[in-house]
Amino acid sequence: MLKIAYGEASFENLISDGSIYIDKTRFIPMMENHKKFFFIRPRRFGKSLWLSVLHAYYDTNQKDKFDKLFDGLYIQKNPTNYKNSYLILRFDFSGLNTENESSLKNDFNFRVRRQIISFFRYYKNFFGDSFFENAKEQFESLSASQLISRAKEETNAIQKKVYVLIDEYDHYANKLASEGREFFVRNIVSQTGFVREFYEQMKIASGEGVFERFFITGVSPIMLDELASGFNILSDMTIDPDFNEMLGFTVDEVKWLLDKVSEERYTYKTKEEVLQDMIYYYNGYCFSQEAKTRLFNSDMVLYFMDKFSRIGYPSDLLDENVKTDYVKLRGLIVGASGKTKLQSIIEEINLNNTLIVNLTKRFNFTQRFGDNELKSLLFYLGLLTFSEPGEMKIPNYVIRTLYWEYLQKYLEEEMNIEFDLSLLGRAIKEMAKQGTANGLRELAIDFFQNKLSSYDYSGLTEKHVKFLFVSYFTLTKLYNLISERELSGRKRIDLLFEAHPAYYEYVFYNFIVEFKYIRKKDNKEEAKQKREEAINQAREYYEIYKRDFKQFGRELRSLALIVTHSREVELIEVCGFES
């Protein structure tokens, strides 16, 4: 039976419990070519677990456990000369108190002190019991930088080497930036700042050969410029093609997981069809323009597999814990740039499907982030990914829905649009159960005639009409809303309402909706042509989609939605209603 340790960040616990582990240890020998390894990935991409793997592999106190922990993995059969040869000094800077500079400094010092004391306790076999007992009292008044200096001196005295692991190196800086307190970050990393002093001592310990290796990770590079000023010997491997696959899952790795699921779960869909759904939902990440392989977010996959292997398709495609993380990231983006700037980028990506980006690798806090910095930040946070050279796109369906949800919140909070949930619920229920579109027509009329003002119409294009309307449907779960579904012949469905597999027993109808917007400058003939084009496309795409795509027991129906600059709304039933 497939055993998923969803959310587990301890490699030893995962292995001890007999849970699934996707073997990434082939990257360990490659990493050893870079002693000061800096590597960032989006939230929930397996960073903390990877730190735990490195800890278990290099920790000299875990020699006796090596074969048990790494049994059957690549590195057991191909160990390096550095296996179990280091003292491990590990830090996690998430959750620090950022109320003010004093509280952050105190909490930072406390966190470092706690880890240094734990370091000496864990390695008492090298330092001795008496030293540890004396050290606890001596360390009480020392700052973070002084503690690093002492750890260096004592380790050097016993002629051992240290591997430093730092998780969430940027967590407190991200939080401060999300609150618009960039000046605070500048203070703590200035030449006299306590964070700068901490990393300067790290650099000294590295230069003297005591702290020999580093692995530093987080979700953004917004502190890298400041960190490098005090610790300028890092190798930033974030977008190096050789390490594109080190975190996240490949298609073959997801296939391997699906092979371990009981056949009874493949009732509605075959294994290949489930894989294609997962590719659409969670795949698409690429962290180097030179890399060919696209990746799944590992946490999203494990969440799906945990639910699917036990009960079938999860009703929510994204774990609420992950969604909460992305809400926090939205705060970081807004704090660093402002709501209007983010809104304009959301409109741009929805209108064009790609963005032109010259990736920014170093950030500073001397001014608010500009257009390119913000787009680069979206890449690091996993909200954009490499596409063509110089271009980026949204990686997958789940991330696209997060953009739509942000748009819905923006319309609600900034434009005072109140979404009618009862009207939405009735429309979706009628579509799902009865295959009728009367409720959808009423919803569209209410939205375009009552929710949007005349000013909102001033800059509308056809794609604006679509993605404004789409934002409404982020509030329902029965359908997966698929924008620009590709068909043969390079054709695209404007909007596809495709039954969510978790609700197959409730949803009996899928819908195709083709949009057209009649602008003020369109004459009567042009307006008539657009209307006919919408109807013809709804008919053509109905036939193509019905021919090329399985409906899994659902009926298919198509509609044409025409909205005019004067707020007139027409919803036309095109195909499938005669049955």
Residue 90 exposure: Cα atoms within 13 Å on the Cβ side: 17
Q: What is the C-alpha to C-alpha distance for residues 457 and 100, in angstroms, rounded to an integer?
A: 44
Q: What are the tens digits of pLDDT across the range 407-461? A: 788 778 777 788 888 999 999 999 999 999 999 999 999 988 888 765 566 666 7
Residue ranges of the chain assigned to CATH 3.40.50: 11-240
Neighbour order of strands in the sheet with 569-575:
479-487, 491-499, 509-518, 555-564, 569-575
Enumerate the H helices of 123-162 as residue ranges: 124-127, 129-138, 144-157
- Confidence at residue 579, expressed as pLDDT on a 0 to 100 scale: 57
For the chain, percent of residues with pLDDT exceeding 90: 60
- CA distance linking residue 195 with residue 300, whole number of Å: 33
CA distance 427 to 418: 17
Strand residue runs (E) in 97-234: 162-167, 211-218
Q: In this model, does residue 337 exceed pLDDT 60? A: yes
- Number of C-beta neighbours around residue 126 at 10 A: 16
Given this model, what pLDDT does residue 12 score? Answer: 95
Question: How many other CB atoms sit within 10 Å of the CB of residue 105?
Answer: 18
CATH match of 11-240 with 2.60.120: no
Q: What gap in Å lies between CA 498 and CA 482, rounded to an integer?
A: 7
Tell me which amino acid residue 526 is: E
DSSP E strands: which ranges in 334-476?
355-356, 385-386, 391-393
- Statement: residue 386 has pLDDT above 90: yes
Query: SS3 for 383?
Result: coil
Is 90 exceeded by the pLDDT of residue 330?
no
175 or 455, greater pLDDT: 175
Q: What is the pLDDT of residue 75?
A: 98
Which residue did the predictor score with more confidence, 449 or 335?
449
Higher per-residue confidence, 218 vs 135: 218
Confidence (pLDDT) at 189: 66
Residues 349, 355, 361, 367, CA torsion sign: negative
What residue has token string 């369906």? 397
pLDDT for residue 367 is more than 70: no
Q: Which pLDDT score is estimated for 191?
A: 61
Lowest mean pLDDT among 40-49, 158-167, 177-186: 177-186
Give the orientation angle of helix 144-157 with respect to helix 194-207, to 10 degrees. Answer: 10
Confidence at residue 63, expressed as pLDDT on a 0 to 100 scale: 96
Predicted TM-score (pTM) of this structure: 0.91
Beta 391-393 vs 355-356: how paired, if at all? antiparallel
Rg (CA), the chain: 27
Q: Give the pLDDT confidence score for residue 172 in this predicted structure.
A: 85
The helix/strand/coil state of 299 is: helix
The residue type of 193 is: G
Give the Cβ contact number of residue 528 at 10 Å: 12
Find which of 8-12, 343-347, 363-367, 386-390 is predicted with most confidence, using mean pLDDT: 8-12
Give the residue from 472, 335, 331 showing the smallest Cα distance to 401: 472
pLDDT at 368 over 70: no
Among 74-83, 227-236, 353-362, 474-483, the minimum mean pLDDT is found in 227-236
Quickly list DSSP for 502-547.
Answer: GGTTT--EEEEEEEEEE-TT--HHHHHHHHHHHHHHHHHHHHHHHH
Q: Which two tokens stand for residue 370?
A: 């500009």
Cα separation, 270 vs 480, in Å, equals 19
As a whole number, the mean pLDDT across the chain is 88
Specify the DSSP element, H or E, that contains 407: helix 397-413
- pLDDT for the residue numbered 371: 81
DSSP string computed for 438-456: HHHHHHHHIIIIIIS-HHH
Count other Cβ atoms within 10 Å, centred on residue 235: 14
Asked if residue 245 has pLDDT above 70, the reply is yes
User: Residue 204, exposed/middle/buried by CB under 10 A (0-12, 13-18, 19+)?
Assistant: middle
Q: Is 211 helix (H, G, I), strand (E, B) or coil?
A: strand
Closest by CA to 534, choosing from 515, 556, 510, is: 515
Separation between Cα atoms, residue 383 and residue 470, nearest integer Å? 19
Beta pairing, strands 569-575 & 555-564: antiparallel
- In the chain, DSSP finds a helix count (H) and a strand count (E) of 25, 13
Does the pLDDT value for residue 287 go beyond 80? yes
26-55 tens-digit pLDDT: 999 999 999 999 999 998 899 999 999 999
CA 123 to chain centre: 37
Q: How far is CA 48 from CA 8, 117, 199, 269, 493, in A?
A: 9, 21, 21, 34, 40
Do residues 181 and 108 lie in contact, with contact meaning Cβ atoms separated by under 8 Å?
no
The yes-or-no verdict on residue 200 having pLDDT over 60 is yes
